[in-house]
Chain A
Amino acid sequence: MEARNPARTATVAQVQQMSHSRIPHLPAREQCAQTWAQSLARPRPGTGLARGLPGNAVCKAPPAPPRRSPAGSLTQLQVPSRSARPCSLGFAKGKGVGTNMAEDSRGGPTCSWMGDSQDPVPGSGGYNFPEYEIPEVNTRAFHVGTIGELWRGRLRGAEDLSLKEPRAPELPGCPGDAASDPGDAAVARDLDCSLEKAAELRAVCSLDKLKCLEEGEDPEAIPEDTELVTLGIRKRFLEHREETITIDRACRQETFAYEMESHAIGKKPENPANMIEEGELILSVNILYPVIFHKHKEHKPYQTMLVLGTQKLTELRDSICCVSDLQIGGEFSNSPDQAPEHISKDLYKSAFFYFEGTFLHDKRYPECRDLSSTIIEWSESHDRGYGKFQTARMEDFTFNDLHIKLGFPYLYCHQGDCEHVVVITDIRLVHHDDCLDRTLYPLLIKKHWLWTRKCFVCKMYTARWVTNNDSFAPQDPCFFCDVCFRMLHYDSEGNKLGEFLAYPYVDPGTFN
């Protein structure tokens, strides 16, 4: 065996050289000789060879944290034998909801997130990474809170999670200090290089290496001799506009949209207790409008809200502005001055969310009913191919507790029959540039601009009344603003003239 050693050493070195030659200029690593016995004793990441050799005991054991059941924190609702693993995720309980989980006494049948409709944790290597179910369209179901956990676990110790403003990396006005900078020591430590090298790197990679314009040149002007295709296209576009004398200004919709997107950026709360903690998750939720106009059949209009992982579902529910909440029932042609006593929002308080086989009802008020019972009965009456639906209380759950698919349509239903499709589009960690005031969440960042119906008479004001069977009106139904309505239908004493039916009207564009 001894004679073979030099040859073998050379072989091993050659092998290592070969595999590392893809990465250029690599200094030679030390050789790590392992015996067969050693490799047996220690489970190693699977190799093709290890699997193929007969009778070997090396098994594929990627270093994975203990596998979590997809139910996460909700396992306590299950029959105890189901989940052997204690769940150590304190975050998932949300604030102030913790004790509710264990009690089954409230709210109907126990909520099961581990229902058969779930597709638990495919993940690569045992992690609960969200993966595409339909590529580029939506993911498989996963636990929201886990995403936060996984990220926080990976970023712990580094500065990435912090919400403090980062130290300005390049302090302007001290060129003379090129030789020394306190950051250099940290660089040298992290990159395992010398202090001089760190200083050199700072110079070589500085931002002015990226400057493409001279001093005084307008950054918005397209250079004449550009070779960039992008600019060529943009230039042609601008030139075309000049030729056709098209004035390109921001219309109010664009200004409105931009304002919505950016109005809350960087806001800090006055009361520090309202500051969002680092590591918090922000979900971006699209809520589609229930209006069904023909022109919307390709792209349904929607509004986008940002919501925190630790917020309850009820908070989102309360912040959804839907015009059907403001409807006033009743015919008021005889008493137009009688201020409507109740808007629908006050009268019909029931609502539910539907996520992954579970209906989550708002049970905060005694008059809230279970709107989904009809659906559940329907589904169970025959074998319709849907799994068993569950019900739960909306106020018991935060977004961190949910199992959802990203990009998949779910439902929000209120007022009995006003249904909104809800899509969760994104989940990410909070960043110091975000709005950090938790009282502002759920935060509306995108809203569809709906054209309001104007009064038929003046064509200026938004309609507030709609009439049927109206002898004064040229069409049925006809819309009027308040002033025109009274002028047309009532005399100066307020007596009703003619025959008509009048209903208060709330335009969907009211929230613009």
Chain B
Amino acid sequence: MAMGTPPGLQTDCEVLLSRFQETNSVGFEGFAELWRSMKFATVFSGKMRNLEKNTFTKEALALAWRYFLPPYTFHIRVGGLYLLYGFYNTQLCQPKQKIRVALRDWDEVLKFQQDLINAQHFDAAYIFRKLRQEKAFHFTAMPKLLSYRMKKKIQRTEVTEEFKDTSDRVMKLITSDVLEEMLNVHDHYQKMKRKILADNSLQEKAISLIKDDFFDTIKNIVLEHQQWQEDRKNPPLKPKDGEETREERSQETERCERAESLAKIKSKAFSFVVQASKSRRHRQVKLDSSDSDSASNPGQTQAAKKKRSRQTLKSAGKKAPSRNKGHERSTRKEEKSLRLSMPVIKEEEENGSCSEQEFTVPKRRRRY
């Protein structure tokens, strides 16, 4: 009996998870409080008969499971874990419906568990351990049952944008391991160079092929990037002052504010054009105003607004340098004809921190 995700359940889960994300803690107490305040356990009420109860519970667990896996942010993933715990223990089916975990996801799950322990988030680690102890899992080959039903519309599981962990591309590439290795290589290289020089007394200039402080520069760039990510995430969400203010705020006003801030960001981003470097001085960028899109219709729904902003920024997004390879830094400047959100490093000057806090939406456009 194929039900698909029950209507409304995803909305409810996302409300709970976004509220959880706004509390800046990953402790279970905070989640439990939200859970109780929303009386979330009552999703199972309504006198469903046995068959429907089974199907509904299975779908609910499958939905919560999605939030537990990448590409969601760490906070959301912990929220997903708590949500699973909640659903599993408040379900009305007897015997309990289990949580399906596929083979390919198990390693990721274990890694997450280890991260939790290392970071001393004991609540979450304890809860996962507890679920395992209670034999709440079915260990399967694939996440869903596959019965070759040719549905007219295959339900595509969409990843909620707000919860998505967006920092991955750059951070995955330039990890701390990579940087350490870079540093090691660099040191080794310098050592070798000095040895050679000492022996052969060649002109140092002749074999000066790299920038000596490139490592520092890389490190600064990546740090800035990370800082930019953080800042980008935090301003759109108002910091929580007290429980009451947060709960009183309705969804509509949130959307309005969001739309307005998006529009503001967009207009700021596109109003500034960088000077192309000297080697490309014949291709200066001219500013083309696209006022029609900015700050119009704040009352539009969130989804429509985001879609439009995505589309209008598509052309800009394409020019964004998508890779930050450390040792190929020189190629980056070729791609920077249009000023975008990333801070620009000009080759001539070594300014490690021209960090403008401008953010646009292109980063969010990427779907994983």
A114 contacts chain B at the CB level, 8 A cutoff? no
B85 proximity list for chain A (CB < 8 A)? 205, 210
A48 proximity list for chain B (CB < 8 A)? 173-174, 178, 325
A407 proximity list for chain B (CB < 8 A)? 142, 146-148
Q: Tell me the A227-248 residues at the B interface (CB within 8 Å).
A: 227-235, 238
B42 near A205 with CB under 8 A, answer: no
A50 near B181 with CB under 8 A, answer: yes
B271-298 vs A, CB cutoff 8 Å, 1 = contact: the mask equals: 0000000000000000000000000000
A238 proximity list for chain B (CB < 8 A)? 46-47
Specify which of A151, A261, A284, A302 is in contact with B103 (CB 8 Å cutoff).
Answer: A151
Q: What's the least CB distance linking B243 to chain A, in Å?
A: 15
A side interface size, CB within 8 A? 109
A393 contacts chain B at the CB level, 8 A cutoff? no
A159 near B123 with CB under 8 A, answer: no
* Contact segment of B4-12, B260-268, B299-307, B340-348: B4-12
B188 near A35 with CB under 8 A, answer: yes
A301-317 vs B, CB cutoff 8 Å, 1 = contact: the mask equals: 01000000000000000
B28 contacts chain A at the CB level, 8 A cutoff? yes
Main DSSP-derived SS at the A contact region: mixed
Specify which of A8, A49, A220, A284 is in contact with B145 (CB 8 Å cutoff).
Answer: A284
B43 contacts chain A at the CB level, 8 A cutoff? yes
B7 near A428 with CB under 8 A, answer: no
Known A52-B325, A129-B103, A409-B148; contact A222-B129, beta-carbon cutoff 8 A = no
Q: What's the least CB distance linking A27 to chain B, in Å?
A: 7
B208 proximity list for chain A (CB < 8 A)? none
B135 near A166 with CB under 8 A, answer: yes
B30-61 vs A, CB cutoff 8 Å, 1 = contact: the mask equals: 00100110111111111101110010000000
A1 proximity list for chain B (CB < 8 A)? 187, 191
B84-106 vs A, CB cutoff 8 Å, 1 = contact: the mask equals: 01100110100110101001101
Write the chain A residue with the least CB distance to B25. Answer: A24
A8 proximity list for chain B (CB < 8 A)? 183, 187
A293-328 vs B, CB cutoff 8 Å, 1 = contact: the mask equals: 000000100100000000000000000000000000
* Contact segment of B112-120, B199-207, B329-337: B112-120
CA gap between A27 and B121 in the complex, in Å: 11
CA gap between A21 and B226 in the complex, in Å: 9
Q: What's the least CB distance linking B273 to chain A, in Å?
A: 31
B123 near A201 with CB under 8 A, answer: yes
B22 contacts chain A at the CB level, 8 A cutoff? no
Specify which of A27, A160, A223, A302 is in contact with B135 (CB 8 Å cutoff).
Answer: A160
B320 contacts chain A at the CB level, 8 A cutoff? no
A178 contacts chain B at the CB level, 8 A cutoff? no
A15 near B103 with CB under 8 A, answer: no
B142 proximity list for chain A (CB < 8 A)? 130, 139, 406-407, 426-427
Known A212-B39, A222-B46, A254-B51; contact A169-B181, beta-carbon cutoff 8 A = no
Q: What's the least CB distance linking A119 to chain B, in Å?
A: 16
A197 contacts chain B at the CB level, 8 A cutoff? yes
Write the chain A residue with the least CB distance to B6. Answer: A230
A202 proximity list for chain B (CB < 8 A)? 126
A174-209 vs B, CB cutoff 8 Å, 1 = contact: the mask equals: 000000000000010011110001100110110101
A212 near B122 with CB under 8 A, answer: no
B210 proximity list for chain A (CB < 8 A)? none
Known A36-B184, A234-B46; contact A209-B41, beta-carbon cutoff 8 A = no
Write the chain A residue with the least CB distance to B26. Answer: A24
B149 proximity list for chain A (CB < 8 A)? 299
Specify which of B32, B40, B130, B139 is in contact with A428 (CB 8 Å cutoff).
Answer: B139
Write the chain A residue with the least CB distance to B40. Answer: A212
Q: What's the least CB distance linking B97 to chain A, in Å?
A: 10
Main DSSP-derived SS at the B contact region: helix
A432 near B135 with CB under 8 A, answer: yes
A191 near B45 with CB under 8 A, answer: no
Write the chain A residue with the least CB distance to B125. Answer: A191
B123 near A261 with CB under 8 A, answer: no
A280-296 vs B, CB cutoff 8 Å, 1 = contact: the mask equals: 00001010000000000
CA gap between A212 and B7 in the complex, in Å: 22
CA gap between A138 and B142 in the complex, in Å: 10
A158 proximity list for chain B (CB < 8 A)? 132
CA gap between A21 and B179 in the complex, in Å: 16
A233 near B49 with CB under 8 A, answer: no
B223 contacts chain A at the CB level, 8 A cutoff? yes
A131 near B144 with CB under 8 A, answer: no
Write the chain B residue with the least CB distance to A129. Answer: B104
CA gap between A351 and B113 in the complex, in Å: 49
CA gap between A231 and B9 in the complex, in Å: 9
Q: Tell me the A1-59 residues at the B interface (CB within 8 Å).
A: 1, 4, 8, 11-12, 14-16, 18-27, 33-36, 39, 44, 47-50, 52-53
B196 contacts chain A at the CB level, 8 A cutoff? no
Write the chain A residue with the least CB distance to B87. Answer: A210
A211 proximity list for chain B (CB < 8 A)? 36, 41
Known A35-B184, A426-B140; contact A16-B178, beta-carbon cutoff 8 A = no
B354 contacts chain A at the CB level, 8 A cutoff? no
A147 contacts chain B at the CB level, 8 A cutoff? yes
B349 contacts chain A at the CB level, 8 A cutoff? no
CA gap between A382 and B32 in the complex, in Å: 68
B178 near A230 with CB under 8 A, answer: no
B326 contacts chain A at the CB level, 8 A cutoff? yes
A204 near B123 with CB under 8 A, answer: yes
Known A14-B219, A220-B46; contact A169-B141, beta-carbon cutoff 8 A = no
A250 near B46 with CB under 8 A, answer: no
A418 contacts chain B at the CB level, 8 A cutoff? no
B96 proximity list for chain A (CB < 8 A)? 433
A230 near B8 with CB under 8 A, answer: yes
B134 proximity list for chain A (CB < 8 A)? 166, 169
A190 near B180 with CB under 8 A, answer: no
B158 contacts chain A at the CB level, 8 A cutoff? no
B126 near A191 with CB under 8 A, answer: yes
B148 near A18 with CB under 8 A, answer: no
B117 proximity list for chain A (CB < 8 A)? 191-192
A472 contacts chain B at the CB level, 8 A cutoff? no
Specify which of A33, A50, A159, A213 is in contact with B41 (CB 8 Å cutoff).
Answer: A213
Write the chain B residue with the least CB distance to A158. Answer: B132
26 CB contacts below 8 A, A to B, read A12-B180, A23-B118, A24-B74, A34-B184, A47-B181, A50-B181, A52-B327, A52-B328, A151-B139, A166-B133, A191-B117, A207-B89, A210-B86, A220-B47, A228-B8, A229-B11, A231-B45, A265-B95, A407-B148, A423-B146, A423-B147, A426-B145, A429-B138, A429-B139, A431-B98, A432-B135
Given contacts A257-B1, A258-B51, A427-B142, 14 further A-B contacts (CB under 8 A): A18-B223, A20-B176, A47-B177, A48-B174, A130-B103, A137-B146, A155-B139, A159-B132, A166-B133, A205-B85, A205-B126, A219-B45, A231-B8, A258-B50
| Top 5 closest pairs, chain A to chain B, by CB | A407-B146, A229-B8, A19-B176, A230-B8, A428-B140
Chain B residues in contact with chain A, CB under 8 A? 1, 6-9, 11-12, 26-29, 32, 35-36, 38-47, 49-51, 54, 74, 85-86, 89-90, 92, 95-96, 98, 100, 103-104, 106-107, 110, 115, 117-123, 125-127, 129-130, 132-135, 137-142, 144-149, 154-156, 167, 171, 173-185, 187-188, 191, 215-216, 219, 222-223, 226, 325-328
Chain A residues in contact with chain B, CB under 8 A? 1, 4, 8, 11-12, 14-16, 18-27, 33-36, 39, 44, 47-50, 52-53, 124, 129-131, 136-139, 142, 147, 150-151, 154-155, 158-160, 166-167, 169, 187, 190-193, 197-198, 201-202, 204-205, 207, 209-213, 218-223, 226-235, 238, 250, 254, 257-258, 261-262, 265-266, 284, 286, 299, 302, 406-409, 423, 425-429, 431-433
